[in-house]
Structure 1
Amino acid sequence: MKERNFRRIETNGVHLNTVVEGQGPLVILLHGWPQCWYLWRHQIDPLVEAGFQVAVPNQRGYDGSDAPEEIEAYDILHLTGDVVGIADALGHETFIVVGHDWGAPVAWNTALLYEERVNAVVGMSVPYFRYPVGALTKQENFGDNFWYMVYFQKPGIAEAEFEADIRRTLRIIHYSISASAPEGIVLNPKPSTSGFLDGLSDPEQLPKGMTEEDLEYYVAQYKQSGFRGNLNWYRNIDRNMEITPQLEGKKISQPALFIAGEKDIVLQFPGMSLDAMTELVPNLKAQVIVPGAGHWVPAEYPQEVNKALLSFLKDFSPQR
């Protein structure tokens, strides 16, 4: 693995273990779950070579970064405040924010809440949206079927399942929502009393974009952090809507880009609509759907992602 320059950045009341590379306009890359900074391993150097400074934090609740005890410490106001604090710590008045999976809602909301600070925003996998409170977290909305966001609401349950065998957990999750998995395996109905991993395949081979070395790195990260802090992000889904009523109907004004894999199951989630996003993000320059890619598009198809990302960012590069 290539050596990276890690800095422990103090921001918004926490310390975040952050890769910082390069010089120039700042690009902050935000990972999702169950990931860490390492998701962006193929994007850092191309961005640096294009003239950007790149900051890639392990966000709060992830290895090497602080993991506050209170569930409310993981709401969207804390998470977006962390992002702006990274820019402050690195001496940047404005920046570009890029997020994948859970990092995408943080990126979209940073652009909304700190409009004057964010020059451009990129979301990957998760379009910008606002759900009604309870729509994703109440079992009655899913009948007798299992829905993972409901399962994650009660502290300790998912943690116990996942931490029983961290290597198996990460191997199954990363495979199941990759392009390598059989189509629809995650969304196949199962009883509401099921565990997250029930019915999912434990693959003989790792998915596209993941090597044994990659898996071992993730396992080491999660053996240190566990799952409590990062699962607390899900326990704030409703709170995020309740504490940001001022964002209801507000549009993202900055130049924006959306990237997702053709086979990404997130695009099949209830209420998910790329058309709706175009109304809320009027300056959306492009929606890039990468053929053959699953959920982990930055790792599965890095060349395609880098091409789209650098093309979008060329107007912000000092090398233009």
Structure 2
Amino acid sequence: MQTRHIQTDGLNQQILEAGTGPLVLLIHGFPELGISWRAQVGALAAAGFHAVAPDMRGYGGTDKPADTTAYGMLDLVGDVVDLVRALGETACVVVGHDFGAAVAWQCALTRPDVFRAVFGLSVPFQPRRLKGPPTAAMTAITRRAGLGVLYINQFQEPDAHAAFDADPATALRKAFYAYDGATPDGRQSTGFFPEGQTLLSTIPDDATLPPWMSDAHFAEYVAAFSAGGFKGPVDWYRNLDANWAATAFLQDARIRVPAAFAVGERDPVRHYAGPAEAGLKDWLADLRMQQVVPGAGHWIQQERPDEVNRLLLDFLGQVGG
């Protein structure tokens, strides 16, 4: 397993990789890094695959454009297409977690010639809605339901990343704790909080690292985010409405390559992504697998590496490796 940099069309990307064989790309989410896939990189390499987990645009050792508009979905998909070509390949299987799952779904939707199969973790495919940009809709829905503010809406604020940048270690510790499957009921975050609060302010100050997170592994995250900051990662969220405006051509489009989805039973994201999870079969024309992992939370590939590796290798066996 090695870490190196690779130059694509306009981005210098840091990647974690191992193995030789058919290419499998592993796309992380927020607030993570390519190292979140170590267990999968090792298992895939041992099974005869070339496993590659990049730090995505704005994260870790990869370039971090200053302009918020540089973090749109089409930019992110383009980065993954470019990475496939820079690795000397023409096609691969793409796997994504959290916001990385959203990127993976869009890769499969827009470039099925490059991404011949897709596996999403934690965040289901969510089709483009007809009634307008998503952030206003999310605000209206949460207010009608008396749920307060969804963190995605709060992330639209220009200074939303400042609380994370002020103390990266505390921010990361709270985020990993609040979305972990081992965290007791009532102490997990639902993603919703009262007006005037923030995601971090509503997570207990005595939050501890999850059982799977070693001090050394956590130190890698803290070092990366202390150096690179959280603006770029939060900018992914600030482009949600722009993504909607740029993708009218994808209205009602279905993913037709082989697809799979797995989610932790205790993943708090299910509080606001559950309806999309239930309707996956309507949008994935070749859905081969849909699995709920008992007891797992949001960080599924790190919480349950053996189970995720088993599911992933089973899926790869189905689609031809």
Q: TM-score, normalised by structure 2?
A: 0.93
Residue in 2 that maps onto 1:165: 167
Contact 2:256–2:286 at 8 Å: present in 1 too? yes
Q: Could you tell me how far apart the structure 1 residues matched to 2:99 and 2:152 are?
A: 13
- In the alignment, what sits opposite 1:135? 134
* Deviates most, 302-311 or 5-14: 5-14
Cα 1:131–1:94 shift into 2, 3 Å: closer
Distance 1:269 1:5, change over 3 A: same
Counterpart residue identity of residue 142, structure 1: T
What is the aligned partner in structure 2 of residue 29 from structure 1? 26
Aligned position for 2:47: 50
Percent identity at matched positions?
37
Aligned residue pairs, count = 314
Q: Which letter maps to 1:135?
A: P
1:183 Cα deviation after fit:
2.6
CA contact (8 A) 2:150 2:192 kept: no
How much does 1:97 deviate?
0.2
1:270-314 alpha-carbon deviations (Å, 9 max, x no partner): 663323111100211111111010000000010110011001101
- Residues 25 and 317 of structure 1 are in contact (CA less than 8 Å); yes or no, is this contact kept in structure 2? no
Q: CA, structure 1 residues 238+127, in 2 after alignment: closer, same or farther (shift >3 Å)? A: same
CA distance in 1, matches of 2:197, 2:207: 23
Residue 281, structure 1, aligned to residue 284, structure 2:
yes
Match of 2:5 among 8, 20, 27: 8
Q: 1:188 to 1:259 in 2, by over 3 A?
A: closer
5+ residue gaps, structure 1, are none
Q: Give the ranges of 4+ consecutive aligned residues of structure 1 lying more than 6 Å apart after TM superposition.
A: none
Name the CA distance, whole Å, in 2 between partners of 1:203 and 1:180: 15
Is this contact kept in 1: 2:264–2:296, CA < 8 A?
Answer: yes
Segment drifting more, 127-136 vs 209-218:
127-136
Question: What amino acid sits opposite 1:201 in the alignment?
Answer: P
Give the AA of the match of 1:17: Q
Give the letter for the 1:127 counterpart: P
Stretch moving more, 158-167 or 179-188 = 179-188
SS of the equivalent of 1:216 reads helix
Alpha-carbon deviation of 1:32?
A: 0.1
What one-letter code is carried by the residue in structure 2 that aligns with 1:219?
A: V
Conserved 8 A contact 1:172-1:200: yes
Q: Aligned partners of 2:279 and 2:80: how far apart in 1?
A: 26
Q: 1:60 aligns with which of 57, 62, 80?
A: 57
Determine if contact 2:177/2:183 at 8 Å carries over to the other structure.
Answer: yes
Structure 1 counterpart of 2:254, from 240, 251, 257: 251
Does the 8 A contact of 2:134 with 2:244 survive in 1? no
Report the secondary structure of 1:136's partner residue: helix
Q: What is the CA-CA distance between 1:217 and the residue it aligns to? A: 1.1
1:201 to 191, 194, 204: 204
Contact 2:24-2:50 at 8 Å conserved across structures:
yes
Work out the CA distance in 1 between the residues paired with 2:229 and 2:60: 8
Kept in 2: contact 1:22–1:52 (CA 8 A)? yes
The CA distance in 2 between the partners of 1:123 and 1:188, in whole Å, is 20
Q: Is the 8 A contact 1:12 1:78 kept in 2?
A: no
- Superposed CA deviations along residues 237-273 of structure 1, whole A, max 9, x for unmatched, are 1111211112111111111110110001111206633
Range that drifts further, 142-151 or 260-269: 142-151
* Local SS of the residue matching 1:272: helix
Per the alignment, residue 262 of structure 1 pairs with 265
Q: Residues 151 and 193 of structure 2 are in contact (CA less than 8 Å); yes or no, is this contact kept in structure 1?
A: no
SS in 1 for 2:66: coil
Instruction: Tell me by how many angstroms 1:186 deviates.
Output: 1.5
More helix as a share of residues = 2
Contact 1:25 1:316 in 2 (8 A): no
Structure 1 pair 206/114, CA: closer, same or farther in 2 (3 Å)?
A: same
Asked if 1:238 corresponds to 2:241, the answer is yes
Stretches of structure 2 lacking an aligned partner (at least 5 in a row): none
Deviations along 1:112-162, one digit per CA (max 9) or x if unpaired, are 11111111100000000135444335644433712211111122x222111
The question of whether the paired residues in 2 share the 8 Å contact of 1:51 and 1:317 is answered with no
